[in-house]
């Protein structure tokens, strides 16, 4: 499953980039890049893939994606219907870990930042006050112009963000620590086809023959291929998609738990409870209750 290498545009007059995207839907490809990415998802909701981690995303989320870590945001189907006024919006920072020189992170004062950027190779989701303060600093950075004499303040703001994150406990590591970050060029589009098809059809049974045809492989070859790249079987991948969709429905609170079960692609309530608890650590009822208390 080769993700697409994305070339991040960078002005010769700026050492790193920050921009605000307003688009019909988010970055609809499994991709990676050598730049570290700090992103505030201001508007939009859907399913995110970071390495081998699957979660829902919603407006207000802030994430740090490490160098060469594959990632993919897939907005909910409603974003593809061209509804007037419905957009996805994000502020995105891209920077190389050596944009400030090869020795900056080797300074003893920057030891925690260097260690934190190493953690970012797993992908990091921010929470609590750390997330809110990062949003504030990102908004300030967006307003700081480059190239101008005061463009230096953008670098100071970025260092402030990274220094704060390096000392925070309000972070969530996403992908496994040994997720591969080297890819061959044999099958550029295959993972995107697999993911797009799976997201579109996970509410019903997807047979192994069916998904293998999407990948243009034999069933046996597909099983080996998918597990060697994703570190999980395709059946477990589908379970994760279904459970994450169930989580979203439980949080929205419009359906009963039984309705959530069937709307998420589970045919039996006992199986729904079993796999939901296996993946989230909570029963559907306790998950919904815990979210309500957190809110």
Neighbouring C-alpha atoms within 13 Å toward the C-beta of 25: 17
Give the angle subtended at the CA of 147 by the CAs of 146 and 149, to the nearest 5°.
100
Spans of all domains in the chain? 4-173, 202-294
**Quick one: residue 101, left, alpha or beta (phi over 0 = left, psi -120 to 50 = alpha)?**
left
Between 14-18, 50-54, 161-165, the lowest mean confidence (pLDDT) is in 14-18
Q: Contact at 8 Å (CB) between 40 and 138? A: yes
Share the mean pLDDT of the chain: 88
Q: Is the pLDDT of residue 259 over 70?
A: yes
pTM for the complete prediction?
0.84
Q: Which CATH architecture does the domain made up of 202-294 adopt? A: Orthogonal Bundle (1.10)
- pLDDT for the residue numbered 1: 46
Each residue of 272-290: pLDDT tens digit?
A: 999 999 999 999 999 988 8
Q: Is the pLDDT of residue 217 over 80?
A: yes
Alpha-carbon dihedral angle through residues 21, 25, 127, 191, given to the nearest 10 degrees: -110
Q: Give dist(CA 169, CA 150) in Å, integer.
A: 32
Q: Is the pLDDT of residue 7 over 60?
A: no
What are residue 28's phi and psi, to 5 degrees? -85, 45
Each residue of 96-141: pLDDT tens digit?
A: 999 889 899 999 999 999 999 999 999 999 999 999 999 999 999 9
Helix (H) or strand (E) holding 266: none
4-173 classified as CATH 2.60.120.280 = yes
């Amino acid at each position: 499953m080769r993700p697409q290498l994305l070339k991040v545009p960078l002005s010769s007059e700026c050492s790193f980039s920050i921009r605000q995207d307003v688009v019909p839907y988010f970055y609809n490809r499994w991709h990676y890049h050598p730049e570290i990415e700090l992103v505030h998802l201001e508007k939009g909701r859907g399913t995110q893939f970071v390495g081998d981690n699957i979660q829902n995303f919603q407006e207000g989320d802030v994430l740090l994606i490490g160098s060469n870590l594959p990632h993919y945001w897939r907005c909910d189907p409603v974003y593809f219907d061209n509804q007037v006024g419905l957009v996805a919006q994000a502020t995105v920072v891209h920077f190389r870990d050596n944009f400030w020189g090869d020795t900056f992170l080797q300074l003893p004062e920057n030891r925690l930042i260097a260690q934190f950027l190493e953690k970012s190779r797993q992908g990091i989701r921010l929470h609590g006050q750390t997330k809110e303060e990062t949003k504030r600093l990102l908004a300030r950075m967006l307003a700081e112009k480059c190239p101008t004499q005061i463009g230096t303040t953008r670098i100071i703001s970025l260092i402030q963000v990274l220094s704060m994150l390096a000392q925070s406990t309000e972070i969530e590591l996403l992908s496994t620590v040994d997720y591969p970050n080297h890819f061959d060029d044999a099958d550029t589009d295959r993972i995107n086809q697999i993911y797009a098809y799976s997201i579109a059809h996970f509410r019903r049974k997807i047979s192994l023959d069916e998904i293998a045809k999407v990948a243009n492989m034999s069933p046996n070859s597909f099983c080996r291929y998918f597990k060697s790249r994703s570190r999980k079987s395709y059946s477990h991948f589908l379970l994760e998609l279904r459970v994450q969709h169930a989580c979203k429905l439980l949080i929205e609170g419009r359906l009963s738990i039984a309705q959530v079960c069937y709307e998420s692609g589970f045919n039996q309530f006992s199986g729904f409870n079993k796999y939901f608890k296996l993946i989230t650590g909570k029963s559907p009822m306790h998950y919904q209750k815990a979210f309500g208390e957190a809110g």
